[in-house]
Structure 1
Amino acid sequence: MALRSLLYVPAHSERFVAKAHERGADAVVFDLEDAVPEADKDAARGNLATTVPAVGRNGAAVFVRINAGLRQREDALAACRAGATGLMVAKASSSAALDALAGALRAEEAKLGRPAMSFLALIEGAAALLDARAIAANHRVIGLLLGSEDLATELGATPTPDVLRHPKLLLHYAAKAERKLSFGLLQSSADYTDLEALAAAAAEAKAHGFDGATCVHPSAVAVLNAGFSPSETEREWAQRVIAAAAEHAGAFQLDGRMVDAPIVARARKILGG
């Protein structure tokens, strides 16, 4: 599943929900958690039955960011019944906790005859960060991302790009060690209208191997989609590598550089192979 852009949409906001399907995001993330006032959480959950199909009608994957604690189970079941692709599990703490959540969903999924829901694990605490590889290994988890503000608060830190760079890379390595997706930008701009800065941040993250990133404003979607896609130059290079590899049994030279199995594998990945 290619998830270059994940657009957060407050689940209680009719204005944002109404146009979410038009934004071109690979995934829409309905937020039942921090973006929704406590007084609106029940109504936002209740509306998932209509809003989830509505935002997914142009082909976007639909995830629901569920609350931790007492609301978690009912949020998850409502998302399941609404047909959401999966859950973004806020404050994911351990693989065992994710197994417990999966257990709460299993009977409902079977009753509905629907596929098992995928989990995006949102890591927001120091203990979970240190256990990130075990969380990534969970069979429901397809990707990891960092809850930067919550982690910084727990650490007593300021959530600057420099402070968050190491935690984001740790999480990225944990995800990739288990062949899962990783999401995030190592640089960030508070000004979401600065699309040049966003494009540069996406290029840097892609160079590290990140698969995509979340965003809160529709203007970022096209930038992320482009930034986490292979460029024409990359595609042309990959096609030449694959063509040359077909003519050689082992390592070979191309443009004066040695090409061996890992480079051929990288070229295949660029071309979607």
Structure 2
Amino acid sequence: MAIKKIELCCKFTNVNFACLPELPARLGKFGFEVVAFSASINSYPTIIDFDSIDDLPDYIKTNGHPNSYRFSYDSSGSPRKNFTIDKLINIHKEKLLLLEATGFGNEEMLKDIASFLGVEPDYYKEEASKLEKSVFIAHRFDKQGTELAEKLARFLALLGFAVKTGRAFSPKSVALKVKERLKSQSIILVIYSKGDDSTWLTQESIIESSEKPLFILKENGVEFKPGILADLEFIPFNIDAIEETFIPILEGLKEIKVIG
């Protein structure tokens, strides 16, 4: 299948304007014969259009690099063949330098032209997460809640996470201890299991860290009381199989880019 259009995003810089008069010959190597040229130079508030490439290098040398520009090379025949160089800032404030071939060419050709013009492809690099690999596990302090937390902690430790819970002794009040440990960790996992609501697991302590990634693991059959937890998505599990939550947890950690 013939390529209708192909585009290469390059790092936002200026092309080597001195090379522009030689670009038609370079394009000729790929079967593209230039028969017409046009250019639009935006040196705000002035916009100038050219229909000849010969005057461009001297104009830029005298007036400096423009804010944005579009150079267009056309070939004869049908279907239409065209090559453009666009430097622009779009409505989303994204700074772009684009090489575009219509009706001919391929990726290797665009890379060759980019090298000829002195620019580099701008390969996308996924932004690494700024979150530390630290987790606070919120759970009930009864035997069942503690056992569930220990299983989850072992799983997270194998992934390289530093894990804290509210279980370890502190001379401070339970409320203060929990709030401080929640604050110190990047991610919060709540194990919502059956038990007495008078334990330390309160909605108020979760609200204070609501801007952090929050994973809620809810035992099947347990009902949320009205409040913030009831409004959040949760991962269900059976009381004898908290391992059912491990894959959804991995998916969530990947989504927030804490693991690869």
Task: Give the TM-score normalised by the residue count of structure 2.
Answer: 0.27
Task: Give the TM-score normalised by the residue count of structure 1.
Answer: 0.26
**Bigger fraction of residues in helix:** 1
